[in-house]
Each structure stands twice: as C-alpha cells, then as structure tokens.
Amino acid sequence: MPEAFIVSAKRTPGGRRNGRLAGIHPADLGATILDAIIAETGVDPATIDDVIIGCVSQIGEQTFALGRNVVLASSLPDSVPAVTIDRQCGSSQQALHFAAQAVMSGTQDLVIAGGVESMSRVHMGSPVALAAKAGMGGSPFSAKILERYGVEGFSQFTGAQMIADKYGFDRAAMDAYALESHRKAVAARASGAFAAEIVPVTTIDADGKSVVHDHDEGVRADASLESIGSVKLLSEKGTLSAATASQICDGASGVLVASAEAVRTHGLTPLARIHNLTVTAGDPVIMLEEPISATRRALQRAGMTLDQIDLFEVNEAFASIPMAWLSALGADPARLNVNGGAIALGHPLGATGTKLMATLVHALHARGGRYGLQTMCEGGGIANVTIVERV
C-alpha cells in the first residue's frame, strides 16, 4: 500500500474567548494556516489536490462551505477544491484521516487537512440555539433515539462526570491534573517547544494597534491548587469545574499530507509517516470514554503495544478523560501531553485534531521519539486514533 507522510504541521496560537483572535473572521484564520504551510514547504499551491477542513459549529461565519472559503481567503488559486466535515471535536483529526486515505489510495498526492473554530464569533451550540430562536426548534435527537438510550438528552458534561465517578476521580485529583497541564504548558512555552508549530498571527488590540499574537493566550503561569480549587463546580453534586475542563478557544491548524512520489517530486522533508488510522464508536451517553476502546483497537490493528509508543496526545476535553485513559490502559503518565493540554492551551473544537498532531510530531522530533499516538473523544461516543512514526 502507498505510504502517506506529514510534511508540514502548523497551528495558530490559541486565543482566549473574546481575546486576541476574536476579531479575525474564521475563513481568514484558516487561511493563515494554508499560507504558512505553502510558505514552509515551497510547493506550488496549484498542485494541492484538495483541502479538508474540520469545523463543529457550522453556522454564520463558519457555514456555506467554510473549507472552500478558507481556500478563497488564502494564497491558493481558486482551482484548489475544498470540503468541510464535522466529526465533532475530532473533525480535523478525521480530516487528517481522510487526507491520508486519499494519498494511500493513490488517488491524490498532496492534501491539506486542517480545522478552524472561532468560538468567540460562533459560540458553541450556536446551530441549535439560533435555530430555536428562528422558530426552527426541536432537538437533533429524535424521540426514538432518546427512548433507545433511556435519556432526556446527551451531554458531554454529563459524560465527563460519569467517567470521573466510574473511575473514582475526586475533585482534588482532577484539580491536581489541571495544575500539571498548566505547568507543562508554561515550561513548554518558556523552552520554545512550540516555536516550530506556531504561526504568529497579526491582529488589532483594544487600542487599535497592530500586535503579533505568538503564544497561547490561555496558559496561566500563576495557576495554583488554590486558584483552581476556588472555581465553581459545573454541577452541584459533581466534581468537575471549568478549571478542569478545556478552555473555550479560537484557533486554526493544519497539516500537509504527501505521497512518497510527491515527497520526491517536490523535494519535501517528511516529519512523520502515517502508521495507523482508526475510528471506533460506542456508548453515546457516557460518550467521552471511547478513546480507551479506540486505542486498544488501533494498537491491535497496528500490531503494537502501548510500550512502543513514545508520546501520547489525549485531548483534555475534561481532566477525567485522559486520567481514565491512563488508568484503563496502564499508560506511562510521563509520556502523556508532555507540553500541556487543552485545559491550559485551549480546545478550538474543529481545529484541535490537527492542532494536537502538530504538537505531537514536533515533540517527537524534539525528544527523539519514534512513535506517537493521538486520540480524541468526540460527541456521540466516537473516537479517532492516529499513530505516526517520526522520520
């Protein structure tokens, strides 16, 4: 089977809600990544076969073929096609899977996979909320679905708390995990660990002055157990708080996936080889536990053990998710989210998949690791797993 290589992996710095990236249209934010990938690799932009963009809240500025609009806002010629996909939080990780599958099938040679989400401009849950406001109410879950699972609705917050309860994680343990996420992110930023992956974004500040946004805005160098512990719980009887959940974030990310022939033809230097692509689905009620099953299946399909993986990126949607993943699989916590996770760095929904992949491949190079594994919990009880090999 033909091989697929990641030859460029870029992301914007995360922007806090109503922060430095809030003034940028989502299409323009995504275009920043496309332009950066072309600039870094030097490929003729007209040779890009396709652009696949993940986005969750596809309404308003993020609708009407967002992927295509990202291309139109970029330096790529209008001859380059694009498509927008939604696999909830795994949207851009799935974009990467689709891109790799196209290359491995031999039907395409150069595909950009990425994602964008401006959570300041298009709020989480907007499609349902605005439809209701416009008189097009109703739930995306039919009565038949709700009856099948014996629930009144599905909620990631409920699922995250169910996982915390199932694995016996109390508030103190999850607060401690959140603090460690910030500490790792602070150390990574100070050491320049993100330099190779971050694309600085020029924006306008509150005073109307042009500023360069070049670091993740949500990282808190002053975080402490006391400050994290003071944050109100998400539910009265729960143990999770906003401080142990991923931060609302604006951002974009992307990777260029190339065939071996394209690598030779364009003189590209691969960062990683795609080793395994897996997606599974399970219980939509507890919802966010599926990365555990997906990881087991990915390792089985790849003929690997967890000990062979040097670095793990498990999205910190809530502290209970990576904690449960570690517990269930017996994984080494020293290999997990080594530069911090979404609790500190932010979770720009549709952009997070390729954002984490950018962090993973560059961390493998920086640390001399061979294999990296990325997984993401997703709405509806779905999870993607991607295993890459540094080259």
* Residues noted as catalytic: 89, 347, 377
CA angle 209, 203, 10 (to 5 degrees): 150
Rounded (10°) angle between helices 320-329 and 290-302: 40
Is 372 in contact with 360 (CB distance < 8 Å)?
yes
Contact of 82 with 106, CB cutoff 8 Å: no
Measured distance CA(214)–CA(21) in Å, rounded? 11
Beta 82-85 vs 371-378: how paired, if at all?
unpaired
Cα distance between residue 260 and residue 364, in whole Å: 21
Task: Count Cβ atoms within 10 A of the Cβ of residue 124 and give its class: 0-12 exposed, 13-18 middle, 19 or more buried.
Answer: middle
Instruction: Determine if residue 64 is left, alpha or beta; phi over 0 gives left, psi from -120 to 50 gives alpha, anything else beta.
Output: left
Q: Are 109 and 259 in contact (CB under 8 A)?
A: yes
